[in-house]
Chain A
Amino acid sequence: MHVSSPIREPLVTNGKTLGDVTNDVCKQVEGKPTKLWYFAMAFSLVLLGLGSYSLYITWTQGIGSWGLNKSVGWAWDITNFVWWVGIGHAGTLISAVLLLFRQKWRTSINRAAEAMTIFAVFCAGSFILMHMGRTWLAHWALPLPNTYGSLWVNFNSPLVWDVFAISTYLSVSLVFWFIGMVPDLATIRDRATSPISKMMYGFFSLGWSGSAKDWSRYETVSLVLAGLSTPLVLSVHTIVSMDFATSVIPGWHTTIFPPYFVAGAIFSGFAMVLTLMLVTRKVYKLEDYITITHIETMNKIIMLTGSIVGVAYITEFFMAWYSGVEYEQYCFINRATGPYWWAYWSMMTCNVISPQLMWFKKIRTNIYATFILSIVVNIGMWFERFVIIVSSLHRDYLPSSWTYFYPTIYDVGDYIFSFGLFFTCFFLFAKFLPVINMAEVKAILKSSSERKDVKHH
């Protein structure tokens, strides 16, 4: 059996038994929706509604309803797209990469983190569809045989690679999340009392019984999916970074982008997981499963990836100087001192200074500090994408094309739509599905909980 070092912090506190795990997680699914849940859903639906009006205007009036112009062809649309995709990366990292590294602490957060990934990718995809303008021609991005010769997509373009990367990422994450959920859906099915619950959970649990042979195959499937998802998550954000890196624009055309973007994605993704989990564990009373140890470990990862992002900033700056290329040098001077200096300094404060605070144990084990810092990090990462995109586009090679970009109400409105979509999906998930992977937490209970008395026999 597993032996865990006695100096490790327990991952499940308060003497929980297997039955407790089932009850604590299932009672949130089985109970009637609380007032707080209705309030949360109402809030998300309001955002969704307001955002949908903005989306309607964007679709019917066109991209001209945004603040874009000939110099700044991408602004909030692509900033938001990259922001959401980056956030999505933490879920796959927690599910897949931490499984390969045998990190038992992932078991209480991986279900919710993977759900966050899927909903974040929905939001990212919505910006891709929106920014096409003629969204009803979105199928032109796919390599389908057609009557125009067949006119194919250009496989040399990172924009086409993105189509494959994002759709593969969404589908593989979805299947990994769902397969992982089947045993827990069976647990809920076996406890269900109402006929609708029995039917729905029965349908989606695919007849799972907990047979040893099924578990054996399930473990193989989980391991292989984890092994596939790990390079997938690294490749997806690398390909997204190549949307910029393969161009010739100063500030974009740099080989640091792939690792820089991947580290930044993990950074913002973990921050979003923390934001969501700190609220969920409080509301659902799951503090014994998502412990301070879990929060501290996630903060350490934020500190690490935030430091990598900080080093990448220094590298970009250094290379701009060392290369002697005056356009690249101007780009960075402009970022710090030009019209968008406020965005640049917000980014630097939020992304470089805040993760360094995690060196202090008092801060990384404090829930309120963690919550505030997780939001600060996400704000900083939004500004990072904004700075990369807009500051490089608004002043590139030809000074007569230099201009300023202002967002319109519809730029903001479409962003609000994505929040509405994300939170509506997340709150539906939190009500109808088990937010913690019960089977995995039960599997680590003996070795990693506070019930040290049952270890020796």
Chain B
Amino acid sequence: MSTSSNKFLVGIFDDEDVLMHSISHVRHDGGNIHDVLTPYPIHGIEDAMGFKRSRLSRAAFLFGLLGFICAQSFIFFVLNVDWPMNIGGKSTIPYPDFIPVSFECTVLFAAYGMVFTFLIVSNLLPGVKIKPFDIRSTDDKFVMVFDLAHNTKTVDELTLMLKSQGASEVYEKVMD
């Protein structure tokens, strides 16, 4: 069996529920799905495909914590260490006044940190060129792709499996 990954089998579905049922059936019957491409996110597809929960929310929390710490330390430094001022005899650590800016910095760091992490981890960067399996995956079709080099089943077996699960088209594709 060839080790190069350039021969793929593409199955096209027209309906999200038919797709979801077929994913669980195909995986149960021993098919190894390379990827599923859809025009919109489908509820429950992560569990059906066996994906782990995204850790981006944890990344957002950590970035937010960093933002909070940076803001609090900076304001403390400015108001209390570098140039403390006697404003009407008030304390140089007026904690309520720390809150608005710290909150904004928390949100800013969390949002940008998470988004940049997402883009880098998913390889979604300006100018990245992809070779689409079927461009209708961004329009109105649901595309299931099998890498023939990483599947124990033959092309005919996979084709039969997909057709019996309700795929409207099944074809082979060679990617350069």
Interface residues in chain A, defined as those with a beta carbon under 8 Å from any beta carbon in chain B: 1-2, 17-19, 21-22, 143, 149-152, 155-156, 158, 160-161, 164-165, 168, 171-172, 175-176, 179, 182-183, 186-187, 189-191, 202-204, 206-221, 223-225, 228-229, 231-232, 235, 239, 242, 438-440, 442-443, 446, 454, 457
Contact = CB atoms under 8 A, between A and B. Distances in A.
Given A1-B43, A217-B56, A442-B39, 14 more contacts: A155-B75, A155-B98, A160-B101, A161-B104, A171-B111, A175-B112, A204-B126, A208-B130, A210-B39, A211-B37, A224-B110, A232-B104, A439-B41, A446-B17
Given A155-B98, A211-B36, A220-B57, A172 B138 contact: no
Nearest to A173: B111
Given A149-B83, A187-B138, A213 B16 contact: no
Contacts of A19: 139-140
Nearest to B124: A206
Interface of B: 15-17, 20, 35-43, 45-46, 49, 51, 54, 56-57, 60, 64, 74-75, 78-79, 82-83, 87, 94, 97-98, 100-101, 103-105, 107-108, 110-112, 114-115, 118-119, 121-130, 132-133, 135, 137-140, 143
A215 B57 contact: no
B75 A22 contact: no
A29 to B, nearest CB: 14
Contact of A161 (B37, B100, B135): B100
Contacts of A155: 75, 78-79, 97-98, 101
A213 to B, nearest CB: 6
Nearest to A199: B127
B46 to A, nearest CB: 5
Given A18-B140, A152-B82, A187-B139, A216 B51 contact: yes
Contacts of A151: 83
A207 B41 contact: no
A215 B124 contact: no
Given A165-B104, A175-B112, A202-B129, A156 B56 contact: no
* Most chain A CB inside 10 Å of its own CB: which residue of B17, B107, B130, B132: B107
Contacts of A168: 104-105, 107-108
B101 A217 contact: no
B82 A210 contact: no
Given A161-B100, A214-B122, A190 B135 contact: yes
A212 B51 contact: yes
9 contacts: A1-B16, A18-B139, A158-B100, A168-B108, A175-B115, A208-B130, A210-B38, A231-B103, A446-B17
A182 B105 contact: no
Nearest to B98: A155
B interface, by DSSP: helix, strand, loop or mixed? helix
Contacts, number: 189
A203 B127 CA distance: 5
Contacts of A457: 17
Contact of B108 (A160, A171, A183, A219): A171
Contact of A232 (B16, B51, B107, B135): B107
B172 to A, nearest CB: 19
A215 B36 CA distance: 10
Given A219-B41, A228-B60, A172 B127 contact: no
Given A190-B139, A206-B125, A171 B112 contact: yes
B78 A152 contact: yes
B148 to A, nearest CB: 18
A202 B127 CA distance: 7
B17 to A, nearest CB: 5
Contacts of B101: 155, 160-161, 164
The 8 A-B residue pairs whose C-beta atoms are closest, nearest first, are A207-B128, A18-B140, A206-B124, A215-B41, A161-B100, A220-B54, A19-B140, A443-B40
B121 to A, nearest CB: 7
Given A211-B35, A224-B114, A218 B103 contact: no
A97 to B, nearest CB: 15
A363 to B, nearest CB: 35
Nearest to A153: B78
Contacts of B139: 18-19, 22, 187, 190-191
A214 B20 CA distance: 17
B45 A212 contact: yes
Nearest to A189: B138
Contact of B82 (A1, A150, A439): A150
A259 B157 CA distance: 64
Contacts of A218: 41, 118
